[in-house]
Amino acid sequence: MKRPIERAEPARARLSLAALVLASLPGLLGCPETARLGFARDVGHAAGDGVGTGTSSVGVPNTFTELRSLLREDPVGSTRAHLLAPKVGPLCTSPELRAAFLRDTQGALGREGPESRRAAEDVVEYVATACFRTNPGSGLVILAEAALAIPSPTRWDVLRARLLAADGRSVEARPFAEAAMNAGSVHARALLANILAEDARAQAPGYREGMFDAALQVAGAEPDSNWPLIDLTAVLSTRARLLSERAFYESSPKDIESLKAARAVYERLGLSPFPQRVRGLALDTACVDAVTLGENGFAACARAAELHGHLGAAFLAGRGEDPARFDLPRLEALKQLRLQMQSLGPKHLAVIAFRGDETELVSWGYPLSELLQTLAAQKLKLVSYVRGGSPRLPALAARVFERAGVRPALELRFPSGVEGMPCVAALIAKQPAPAQCALSADERGRLQKLGQHGIAVLVGRDLDAEIEDLRARDLALTLLSFRQPATERPVAAHLKSLSDVFLLSNRAKSLGGSMQSRPDEP
């Protein structure tokens, strides 16, 4: 069954915070589809206190024990899906029920001993974050009440900082994050660094000298043997991303120094015992940075290819076309797209579409600039299309073009909630604009005069509507994104890794060759 295409911006558009994305491990290195809220850990498998029913130890059912039992159910199973929300919902709105829930939680702790404390805290956290999604105020109230009922030196401060930051209240969030960090929470260090970085971003679009210094000072602390792995990953990933973001905006030679500092952190993250996905994304970024730094060793690329199957990295490192290790159908699609691109010229235009949040898209800055250089060398007219996001997103788009050394022939900006691609797709297909076209008469005229459609490059999230609009007009495109689109409309090619872009680059031959095997790099 075809999935519906979401055209509107997410309801909680204020969640532009890297503080929330990066403080949750699934979103540390560019996986935003699992980090939209960035803090609700699945406690279904975390509750390990051995109590498996919805009753207390004295045989009386209560909301706490019932929730604890439901959270052990399969997260995608029908039991949890149908019963959990009706149990949590009333707690968000009823002070009386909430007080009873916390009393039950306290009682269970008193009867069952300290080994069940973590499981109890997990249940409270789930309730608070679930309530926050529909009513931010109720989630904060639950945590304030939990801090009194179930004292914890750091956990509730960390959660309050996350919730406040997600609600756009970073000034209020910062003291809680600082208190948790000073009380020994390593995870709060990553959270505080991201709050500081987001505060710096909020001052003005673009980059200002030293804007990330405070955040990098917090994230720059070196670990000791007591740091849990998940928190170590959060801190190092935050540091690496901030260094990469700073490098993208800086001018030479400062950008090179920041890239080298970032690479050193990515190389650490690319090793065991860090989670496999973290290692793969770190090596992918380090591979791209190797090209940017002008290095020919490509050791990170070789590891990204060997261990994670990244096509672009395999090409750069000359690791061959082994069907057991690489997605050869997708490789063939990229090769066909490259041939298609080579047939384009001055009579064609390319739409470069940005959608999402700057902190999600900045990792694509260098690869996208590489692709723009290739399109510009073939003298295509480049159209910059920016939809939604914060005021910083147009600044990021402008920096991508600046990094590529090219200027767009036309810049189109669409605020959140305004559909731009239906009109853009119709006009570049030389068809009448729809009645609800958001473009001005001048923009319509300029777009129609730029030439024939050549290619559309889409980078970001929630791009299914744009894909639908383009394919409805029979316009070819490529999708530059970590996300596999939900739409059934076909795309020409999907770049799953940053390094994949080098399969499309004009510099491909000089950079890597043709994926033929060659000796391992030292």
pLDDT at 295: 67
- Read off the pLDDT of residues 248-261 as tens digits, 9 standing for 90 and up: 999 989 999 999 99
Q: Is the pLDDT of residue 32 over 60?
A: no
Model pLDDT for residues 476-514, shown as the tens digit of each residue: 888 888 777 788 777 888 899 999 999 999 876 677 543
Q: What is the pTM of this model?
A: 0.83
Alpha helices (H) along 71-152: 78-93, 95-112, 117-134, 136-149
Residue 167's pLDDT is what?
84
pLDDT surpasses 70 at 353: yes
Q: Please tell me the distance from the alpha carbon of residue 233 to that of residue 22, in angstroms, as a whole number.
A: 10
Both structure tokens of 134 = 């529909």
Q: What's the whole-number mean pLDDT along residues 447-465?
A: 91
- What mean pLDDT is predicted for residues 370-376? 95
Q: How confident is the model at residue 401 (pLDDT cuts 50, 70, 90)?
A: very high
At the fourth CATH level, the homologous superfamily of domain 338-510 is HAD superfamily/HAD-like (3.40.50.1000)
What's the mean pLDDT when you consider all of the chain? Answer: 83
Matching residue, tokens 């990229």: 334
H or E segment to which residue 269 belongs: helix 254-269
Average pLDDT over residues 139-165: 89
Span 9-25, mean pLDDT?
Answer: 38
Q: Which residues contact 459 (CB under 8 A, 6 or more apart)?
A: 352, 353, 354, 355, 361, 364, 368, 480, 481
Burial 185-205 (b: 16+ CB within 10 A, else e): bbbbbbbbbbbbbbbbbeeeb
- Alpha-carbon distance 121 to 215, whole Å? 29
According to CATH, where is 1.25.40 located in the chain? 18-251
Q: Higher confidence at residue 210 or residue 391?
A: 210
CA-based max dimension of the chain: 79
Q: What is the CA radius of gyration of the chain?
A: 25
Q: Which two tokens stand for residue 190?
A: 């990553």
DSSP reduced 3-state for 247: helix
Distances in Å between the alpha carbon of 49 and those of 54, 69, 126, 151, 332? 13, 11, 17, 19, 51
- Secondary structure of residue 457 in the 3-state scheme: strand
Helix (H, G, I), strand (E, B) or coil at 410: strand
What is the CATH class of 18-251?
mainly alpha
Chain segment 107-133, per-residue pLDDT in tens:
877 666 656 788 888 899 999 999 998
pLDDT in tens, 279-320: 999 999 999 998 888 765 678 898 999 999 999 999 888 887
